[in-house]
Each structure stands twice: as C-alpha cells, then as structure tokens.
C-alpha cells in the first residue's frame, strides 16, 4: 500500500544506477514490483537486490551503498538500519508494507534482517524527509523491503521459477534459494525457500568468534488482478538457528516467526481507489549467554512478539492534485522472561508490555505550476502503552542484589504504567524544476516518536536496549516524553548527457531526544529526554563515460550532537565514500569498488564510546551471462585483506573470542574487526 503511494520510480532510477547492464534481467524484475500510479519522483533512492550486491547475505548491508544510510551490525544476521545518524526504532522499516516488529529485547532479529538478501526484489529508501504517508513514526526516515513477489502478464497460465546457489570463502558460507510460480494476468501463485549457513568469519590473522549463522526462510503468496480490484496474500517465515551476536551480551539460540499480509484494492471510480491491508506477525526467540561463551551465571532469555496491523487508504484526484487519506494502526505485545539452566527457581519477568498505535493522515500531491510540485501531509497518532506487573524470584534473596530486585519490582508495580501520547507529524516536500537538467528540492518536516517499550518499561538495570551494544546496563523511565524533530532539507539534482549529480544537505533539531544519561551506578545509564541535533550532507554522483563504462559515487556525512551538553551522539557513521567503476561488454560485466571511511573521533562521552581509525578497502566483482536463463556472479571483497574496524560494528563481548581480544573488566576494550579477504560466487538460473 505505502509502496504504491511511494511511487516506485524504479525505471528512472535504473537508468541512473544500472548504467551498465550485463543482461536485461534487472529490467525484467520490474514486472515483479508494483508500479502503481507512478509519479515522477527524483527523491527516491532505489537499490535492487541481489543484482547490485551479489556478495550480500544480510539485506541491511545494501544500505551502505545508499546516500546517508548505513547499518549498525551486531551479528551476521543482525543489522539495524541507520539513516543520517538515527537508527533502530527511529527508522521506519516496512516489509510488504507493514512494520516488522522485533521479538528480541535487543533486536537480534532486526526488522531489516528478516528477509534474506536472495529473497528480496528491492530495498527502497525515501531520501530526505519521509512523507507522512510512508509510516506512522518516521523520525529517522522510511525504508521499504520488497520481498520477491510474482505477478503474471499472460492470458494463459505459465510456470516460472528461479534458483540460486552461492558460496562465500571468508566464513565458508553457503546459500541456496528457489522460487517457483504459476501465473497468469489474473491469478498468480508463488512459493520460495531459502537456506543459508556459515562459520565464523576470518580477518587478517584471525577469526571473529562467534559469527556463525544458520537460517531457513520461506515465502508464499497469491495475487489476483481483476477489472476493478486486486487482492494479494503474502506470508513469510524466518527460522533462524544458532547465530552469533558478539557485540551483545547473549547469542541467538533461535528466532522463529513471520508475517502474513492481505491487501485489497478497489477502484470504485476512475479517480477513487480504496486500499485495505491487514497483517499479523508472531515471532518467538530464545537467546543465551552460554551458547557460544563461557558464562558464569548461565542465563536464558525467552521473548515473544505478537502484532496485528490494519490500514485503509483512500486515494482520489481533485483539481489540486492527488489527495490521500489513511486510517491505520497496529497493536503489539512483547514478553521477555529470564531463566537459568542451573537454577529452576530463577525467573525474572523482564517485559510484559503492549503498544497500540492508531493514526490518521491526509496528504496532497499538487502541481503548483509546470515547474513546482508540492507534497504536503499531516498525521495524527495516538500511542497507548502499558506494562503488566513484574516479578522476580531474586527478590527472595537476603542480599543487596535481592533487596535491589525487591525495591525495583515494588516501585514499578506501584506506578502508573498506562501512558498515552498524542503525536502530530507534518511533511512538506517541494520540487522546483529550473530547466530540463536541473531541479531543486526543499523539505520541511516535523516528526515525532514515542518511546519504545524498552525505554519506558525496563524496570531492572539490564542490557536489554534494542541493540544499543554500548556495554551499559540501562534503566527505563516512565516519565519519558516523545521525541520531536524539526527537519530541514535542501537538495539538487543535475542530470545531463550521462552525468547525474545529486547532493543534499540537512539539519534536524531533535527535542526530547531519548538518550541514556548517567546514574549513581557507573555501569548503569537511564533513558532520559535530552536535546540533540543532526546535520550533514550526502550525495549521489554517476557518469556514463562511454556506452560500456560508467562511474558512480555515494558519499555520506553526518554529525550528531547534544544541544544540552557538549557531547556527540552515540554510534554515528563516520564520513564515508564509495567509488564504483563498471565496465560491460556482451556477456560480461565487471566492477571495481573503492570504499573509504574516515576515522570516527566524534564519539559519545556519555556512552564511553571508543574512537575508530579510518580505513579503505577495495572490492572487485563480475558477472557472466551464459544465456538469458543463467548467469554467474563472482568477486572478491577486501582484496588486500586489510584489517579494519567498522565503527558501527560494536565491541567484542564474547569471552571466547581470543583473536579479537576480551577484557572482563571493560566491555569496550576491543572493537570487532571487519571481514578479511572474501571470494564469492553465486549461480543464478531462471526459467
Ligand atoms: Cu535476543
């Protein structure tokens, strides 16, 4: 639904990004993506998978190729989207048009990691200020993951399919996927399955223990296209087995769950369309601190999420332009319980919470003149949250620890935990076309975000912080107010004779930014409202040098600062740039890529964040098409086996990770290294 509204201008983006095509497979792919009521949209950044990212296993890694975006990585299958310095719950990540909820209280089952890269058709990021129609809480932008989806075009039923088989050397990783379909212009059925596993990855002179992973993934769908209406059913299921998250205090024993969506559109007049959508998600997850580690005081944490969502969107054309109204919402409950295999008596109810969001928006796309296009939207959201009484068997102990548990429990259970926020969002995006090759974009937004259940209801000091991975225990805060951001954007696009240059600058002032602040216990931070700002610039550049050769560049810079004290914000991507030279001829396509990250010295003193040195790595990739039904993608990443530290990958918390280093007295002593030299190959077949 939202992806329709977002108007996937994939064709225009393709002409920009896919300067050199080894075959026309990328173009065929477009049939699978719904391009509905497409408006000309230069502001959209599009990446298609896996064609542009053959070596990617975990979908959020594609963000590194998108201007302003990056990924906070806590494990091989745990990547939290970051956009312009905001990450986690601040970024609206949608899969099949619905918010994916994380079951793990530390986001090990990160929303954007839910669908494996080989099962994704496209990842779409709205560059700049996300229109309010793109989601309920979009303070950090909107990212859309579009899983594979088949829609036929022929009168007769046809059978189709695709399969892939891949290998990566750095971790002996293997993956296999298959997608089978039967489709006509009216009815389409499809089924896909994917399986992947790998060992801990190597870096120069060492192994990053324990970054092994093991996952199976399934999807299933049906599309109906009638004269006036369409119907779609989509289901996906992720079965993640034992998988490491070395920057967190525990690892994944399993995470099993998925989402079912149904979507119906009805066009009851030429210019009136109603889209209705419902989704249900359920994910169970177990993590432990002894699966891959040597733990004193073994602990398990069992978590569960249940979420239901609905959306009704009415689109109509009026004289001023296209008007959309939406009524949408979701109801999500989270449970997390801590137990020990050594003590059957131990039981701590960590979370038992619910968060209900109900929201209404109106958005107008209007052509003010031939050269001016304005998108303006307003959204009202009511967020209602609550938490059940908590319990802890530790409270029975006659020790300082027991007393702390007793007091925290009693005070939490005696407090009022039913909290309602009333949030208003605004977005204005104005595009001004100066001439055939130059246009300006102006954006103004006011965006809100209610606190997460962890930020409000973490009643015991624990590292259950949605993947913060800063080594601190945190305390929740029932007095938190929603975050409010005022956002400014200015961008330009210059496009002429094979050259495209699109820089953007932005400034976000965030009031009541939620940040951990010091407590009397030096190991514990408490979530609090502070004031912050984020500003920076990002650019996309591409140039078609000859018919066969193109160069493109993406550069991103963001700075995050507190406004109430002199400090930087935590875990922000340093200045980084990526040059790619692509050369194509007949059945071959080659590319060379230079990636450079500056040192990150602007670190959060509050989070005791450690600085990271800069680095550069070189990647080579190629594709060979045997015919129009088979091709092989291959390459080598980090060709010089450079040892480097990605600032967003966190610190080693695994005490058996000897090659990286571990200090039991300091959780921030050793940063996790990036992957060493990696040879990979993936074979694709389609029929
Ligand atoms: Cu977990």
95 Cα to the center of ligand 1, angstroms: 20
Two structure tokens written together for 202? 């190597």
Please report, for the domain that includes residue 384, its CATH number: 2.40.170.20
504 Cα to the center of ligand 1, angstroms: 36
77 Cα to the center of ligand 1, angstroms: 12
Q: Would you state the pLDDT for residue 50?
A: 53
Q: Would you state the pLDDT for residue 331?
A: 98
109 Cα to the center of ligand 1, angstroms: 7
pTM of the predicted model as reported, rounded to 2 decimal places: 0.92
Please tell me the total count of domains within the chain: 1
644 Cα to the center of ligand 1, angstroms: 27
| Residue pair 491/505 in contact by the 8 Å Cβ criterion | yes
Is the pLDDT at 8 greater than 70? The verdict is: no
Tell me how far apart the alpha carbons of residues 79 and 59 are, in angstroms, rounded to a whole number: 8
Structural domain boundaries, residue 584 = 2-686
550 Cα to the center of ligand 1, angstroms: 43
211 Cα to the center of ligand 1, angstroms: 15
298 Cα to the center of ligand 1, angstroms: 15
- pLDDT classification of 57: cutoffs 50, 70, 90: confident
- pLDDT classification of 499: cutoffs 50, 70, 90: very high
44 Cα to the center of ligand 1, angstroms: 33
Tell me the average pLDDT across 647-662.
96
Is the pLDDT at 1 greater than 90? The verdict is: no
91 Cα to the center of ligand 1, angstroms: 20
Two structure tokens written together for 625? 């098409």
Q: Would you state the pLDDT for residue 55?
A: 75
**CA distances (Å), 590 to each of 56, 287, 583, 622, in order?**
17, 42, 5, 4
Tell me how far apart the alpha carbons of residues 432 and 541 are, in angstroms, rounded to a whole number: 20
Burial class of 292 by CB neighbour count within 10 A (0 to 12, 13 to 18, 19+): buried
303 Cα to the center of ligand 1, angstroms: 7
User: What is the chain's alpha carbon radius of gyration, rounded to the nearest angstrom?
Assistant: 24
Among positive and negative, which fits the CA dihedral 636, 641, 644, 650?
Answer: positive
282 Cα to the center of ligand 1, angstroms: 15
299 Cα to the center of ligand 1, angstroms: 12
Tell me the average pLDDT across 331-343.
97
Q: Would you state the pLDDT for residue 25?
A: 29
| Residue pair 328/309 in contact by the 8 Å Cβ criterion | yes
Is the pLDDT at 43 greater than 70? The verdict is: no
- pLDDT classification of 11: cutoffs 50, 70, 90: very low
Q: Would you state the pLDDT for residue 49?
A: 59
> Which of 123-132, 326-335, 448-457, 464-473 is predicted least confidently?
123-132
Ordered DSSP codes for 183-195: E-SSEEEEEEEEE
343 Cα to the center of ligand 1, angstroms: 20
349 Cα to the center of ligand 1, angstroms: 15
Tell me how far apart the alpha carbons of residues 142 and 288 are, in angstroms, rounded to a whole number: 32
Three-state helix/strand/coil letters over 422-447: EEEEEEEEEEEECCCCEEEEEEEEEE
């Amino acid at each position: 639904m939202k992806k329709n509204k977002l108007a996937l201008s994939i064709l225009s983006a393709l002409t920009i990004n896919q300067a050199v095509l080894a075959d026309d497979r990328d173009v065929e792919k477009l049939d699978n993506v719904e391009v509905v009521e497409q408006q000309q949209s230069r502001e959209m950044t599009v990446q298609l998978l896996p064609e542009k990212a053959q070596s990617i296993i975990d979908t959020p890694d594609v963000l590194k190729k998108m201007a302003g975006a990056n990924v906070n990585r806590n494990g091989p299958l745990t990547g939290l989207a970051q956009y312009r310095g905001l990450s986690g719950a601040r970024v609206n990540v949608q899969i099949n048009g619905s918010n994916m909820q994380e079951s793990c209280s530390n986001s090990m089952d990160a929303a954007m990691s839910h669908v494996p890269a080989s099962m994704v058709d496209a990842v779409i990021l709205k560059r700049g200020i996300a229109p309010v129609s793109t989601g309920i809480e979009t303070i950090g932008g909107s990212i859309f993951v579009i899983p594979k989806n088949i829609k036929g075009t022929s009168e007769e039923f046809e059978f189709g399919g695709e399969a892939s088989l891949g290998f990566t050397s750095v971790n002996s990783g293997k993956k296999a996927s298959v997608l089978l379909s039967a489709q006509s212009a009216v009815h389409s059925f499809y089924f896909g399955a994917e399986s992947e596993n790998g060992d801990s990855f190597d870096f120069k002179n060492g192994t990053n223990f324990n970054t092994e992973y093991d996952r199976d993934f399934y999807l299933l769908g049906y599309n109906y296209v009638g004269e006036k209406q369409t119907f779609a059913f989509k289901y996906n299921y992720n079965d993640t087995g034992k998988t490491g998250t070395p920057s967190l205090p525990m690892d994944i024993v399993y995470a099993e769950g998925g989402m079912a969506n149904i979507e119906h559109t009805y066009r009851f007049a030429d210019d009136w369309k109603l889209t209705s959508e419902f989704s249900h998600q359920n994910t169970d997850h177990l993590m432990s601190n002894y699966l891959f580690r040597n733990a004193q005081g073994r602990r398990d944490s069992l978590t569960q999420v249940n979420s239901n969502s609905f959306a009704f969107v009415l689109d109509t054309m009026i004289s001023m332009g296209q008007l959309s109204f939406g009524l949408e919402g979701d109801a999500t409950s989270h449970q997390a319980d801590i137990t020990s295999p050594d003590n059957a008596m131990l039981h701590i109810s960590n979370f038992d919470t619910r968060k209900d969001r109900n929201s209404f928006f109106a958005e107008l796309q209007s052509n003010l003149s031939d050269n001016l296009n304005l998108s303006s939207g307003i959204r009202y959201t009511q967020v209602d949250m609550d938490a059940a009484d908590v319990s802890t068997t530790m409270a029975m102990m006659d020790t300082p620890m027991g007393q702390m548990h007793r007091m925290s429990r009693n005070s939490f259970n005696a407090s009022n935990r039913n909290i309602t926020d009333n949030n208003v969002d605004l977005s204005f995006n104005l595009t001004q076309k100066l001439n055939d090759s130059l246009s300006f974009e102006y954006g103004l937004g006011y965006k809100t975000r209610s606190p997460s259940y962890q930020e409000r209801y973490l009643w015991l000091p624990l590292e259950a912080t949605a993947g913060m991975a800063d080594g601190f225990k945190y305390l929740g805060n029932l007095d938190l107010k929603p975050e409010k951001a005022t956002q400014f954007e200015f961008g330009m696009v210059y496009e002429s004779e094979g050259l495209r240059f699109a820089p953007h600058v932005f400034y976000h002032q965030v009031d009541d930014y939620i940040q951990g602040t010091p407590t009397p216990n030096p190991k514990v931070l408490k979530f609090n409202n502070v004031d912050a700002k984020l500003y920076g610039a990002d650019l996309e550049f591409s140039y078609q040098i000859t018919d066969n050769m193109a160069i493109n560049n993406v550069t991103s810079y963001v700075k995050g600062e507190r406004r109430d004290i002199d400090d930087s914000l935590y875990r922000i991507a340093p200045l980084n740039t990526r040059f790619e030279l692509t050369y194509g001829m007949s059945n071959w396509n080659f590319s060379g890529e230079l990636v450079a990250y500056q040192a990150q010295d602007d670190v959060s003193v509050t989070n005791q964040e450690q600085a990271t040195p800069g680095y550069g790595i070189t990647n080579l990739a190629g594709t060979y098409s045997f015919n129009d039904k088979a091709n092989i993608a291959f390459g080598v990443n980090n060709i010089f086996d450079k040892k480097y530290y990605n600032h967003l990958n966190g610190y080693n918390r695994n005490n058996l990770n000897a090659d990286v280093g571990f200090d039991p007295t300091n959780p921030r002593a050793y940063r996790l290294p990036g992957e060493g030299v990696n040879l990979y190959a993936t074979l694709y077949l389609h029929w």
